[in-house]
Amino acid sequence: MIDDIRYLIVFAKIAEAGSISGGAEALGLTTATASTHLSKLEKNLGCALLYRNTRKLSLTHDGANLLETAKSMLALYEQGVIEFKQRSISTANKLTVSLPAVFLKSAFTRHLADFIMRHPGILLNISYSDTRRDIIADGIDVAFRIGELPDSSLKARHLFVLPRQVVASRELLSHYPTITHPDDLAQLPWIGLNMRQNSREFRHKNGEVAVVTYTPAVYVDNVEAAYALARQQIGLAAPPRYLSEEDVKRGDMQEILPDWSLEPLKVYAVWPSNMSTSSIAYKLINDIYNAIEFHSL
């Protein structure tokens, strides 16, 4: 049925142009393809639609009867193309972006602002949330995500890493024995994240690995909230280093076991598989990748 609709459109355009070559040119087809489509339509209908000779075409009786239907199909097709192009023009300068809430106060937002200033004609709709939204269902052009990605039909690109450090307030730590090994951390209060497991893998400079499992004193749904509560002496947190390093330098917070480190978190750009590499969304991905110096925040 779909093929017959296509053949009807070709027939209408040939009749309108007065020649197979003219109809083919109007539709961006080769003359041979247009001629084949016309022949297939005639075969499917079991009748001739056009009389052909070397100089001109003329409608048969059956062709004349069918032409109005074919013209209607052609008109619907052309109107649909016009409306699609108009919508494309109106949406080409809009970009919906999703990123983790923890990026709000990071260099990432500065680079995003630079992109906005370089492209004043682009309207960005930005969602800062740690909820992993459905990219397709929610109409998201590109999402930036922390951590390993599930297998999916989406495309992804690794952009940079987030170094982390385990920290706590000095006041909180003063109530516990001196910490000398990650195993000691299991007895301390932690601030849990709803979207992460309650365990941490530590690696020492000498290569030793220790896995700590803990029971959170409280759960939150984003990293910034976890760190804010850690600053209020509620428990331990493991924020990105950029979030806590100034407080550590001032002495407001203490890095725990600096000779042990957590695996840096990987950050990815994720987008629909059919997104064009010439799109503004793809340019944003490349700009962010190039902007993050040494590919870590």
- Please report the pLDDT score of residue 91 as a whole number: 44
- Regarding whether 154 and 270 lie in a shared domain, the answer is yes
Residue 156 and residue 271 share a domain: yes
Judge if 139 and 225 occupy the same domain: no
- CATH code where residue 68 lies: 1.10.10.10
Total count of domains within the chain: 3
For residues 284 and 277, give the distance between their C-alpha atoms in angstroms, rounded to a whole number: 11
| Domain end (from 91, 113, 143) | 91
The range of the structural domain enclosing residue 282 comes to 94-161+266-295
The answer to whether residues 11 and 87 belong to one domain is yes
Looking at the structure, tell me whether residues 103 and 85 fall in a common domain.
Answer: no
Asked whether 9 and 77 are in contact (CB, 8 A), the reply is: yes
- Torsional sign, CA 31, 37, 43, 45: negative
- Same domain flag for 176 and 226: yes
230 in the same domain as 182: yes
pLDDT of residue 90: 43
In a shared domain, residues 191 and 248 = yes
One domain, residues 182 and 100? no
Question: pLDDT by residue for the chain (297 residues), tens digit each?
Answer: 678 788 888 898 888 888 898 889 988 899 999 999 999 988 998 998 888 766 678 888 888 888 888 888 888 887 877 666 555 444 457 899 999 988 988 889 999 999 999 998 889 999 998 888 888 888 999 999 998 887 678 899 999 999 999 999 999 999 999 999 999 999 999 999 988 889 999 999 999 999 999 999 999 998 999 999 999 999 999 999 999 999 999 999 999 999 999 999 999 999 998 888 888 898 999 999 998 865 566
Q: Quick check: 60 and 50 in contact, CB under 8 A? A: yes
Q: Report d(CA 126, CA 131) in Å as an integer.
A: 14
Last residue of one domain, picked from the residues 71, 91, 111: 91
E strand or H helix at 274: none
3-state secondary structure 124-143: EEEEECCCCCCCCCCCCCEE
How far is it, in rounded angstroms, from Cα 47 to Cα 70?
15
Same domain, 247 and 171: yes
Question: What is the CATH number for 250?
Answer: 3.40.190.10
Output the pLDDT for position 87: 54
Q: Give the pLDDT confidence score for residue 133 in this predicted structure.
A: 84
Q: In the 3-class helix/strand/coil scheme, how is 139-183 assigned residue by residue?
A: CCCEEEEECCCCCCCCEEEEEEEECECCEEEHHHHCCCCCCCCHH
